[in-house]
């Protein structure tokens, strides 16, 4: 159980480093964290084959927003507000998680964000969040799959596809 940590939304609970291979985040309870519950997001070297499964994440993302910077390829620094972020990964699996009741302070609060890379999001329950349940974003997310999830009572929709249209 991980709870009551961080002071800004840069303080993510679980955040593997660049180039990590076969990271497994399993059977954690994460609550009252200032940043994201689990952030799979790296710089130059993608995380390979991470697995995030059987976790309960709630009441996260209550930190003070950091410095805004919109020149980050889609992310705005200071808005790490999701339960689970899977971005810049190779062959990621996000499965059988419960993500609910993220804090509502007017910022986007996606239960699960799938960004660049290849992520399979299966059998998750995402509920009672102030914006989208699952956000699919950025070009490389074309290789991601979202199947058999339970999504309800997310204020701005269940699954939002924000990928750019192909030229």
Give residue-wise pLDDT tens across range 31-40.
888 888 898 8
Burial (CB count <10 Å: 0-12, 13-18, 19+), residue 121: buried
Predicted local confidence at residue 67, as pLDDT: 36
> Above 50 in pLDDT, residue 71?
no
Tokens matching residue 35: 């940043």
Span 17-45, mean pLDDT?
Answer: 86
70 has pLDDT over 60: no
pLDDT score of 119 more than 80: yes
Average pLDDT along the chain: 78
Question: According to the 3-state scheme, what is the secondary structure of the chain?
Answer: CEEEECCECCCCCECCCCCCECCEEECCEEEEECCCCEEEECCCCCEECCEEECCEEECCCCCECCCCCCCCCCCCCCCCCCCEEEECEEEEEEECCEEECCCCCCCCCCCEEECCEEEEEECCEEECCCCCCEEEECHHHHHCEEECCEEECCCCCCEEEECCCCC
| Residue 158 confidence (pLDDT) | 84
């Amino acid at each position: 159980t991980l709870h009551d940590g961080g002071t800004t939304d840069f303080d993510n609970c679980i955040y593997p480093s660049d180039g990590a291979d076969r990271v497994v985040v399993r059977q954690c309870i994460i609550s009252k964290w200032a940043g994201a519950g689990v952030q799979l997001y790296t710089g130059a070297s993608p995380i390979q084959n991470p697995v995030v499964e059987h976790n309960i994440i709630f009441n996260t993302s209550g930190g003070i927003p950091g410095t805004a910077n919109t020149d980050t390829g889609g992310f705005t620094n200071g808005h790490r507000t999701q339960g689970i972020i899977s971005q810049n990964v190779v062959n990621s699996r996000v499965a059988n998680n419960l993500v609910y009741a993220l804090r509502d302070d007017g910022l986007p609060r996606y239960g699960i964000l799938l960004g660049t890379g290849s992520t399979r999001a299966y059998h998750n329950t995402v509920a009672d969040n102030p914006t989208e349940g699952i956000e699919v974003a950025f070009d490389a997310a074309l290789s991601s799959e979202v199947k058999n999830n339970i999504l309800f009572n997310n204020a701005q929709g269940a699954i939002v596809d924000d990928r750019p249209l192909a030229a």
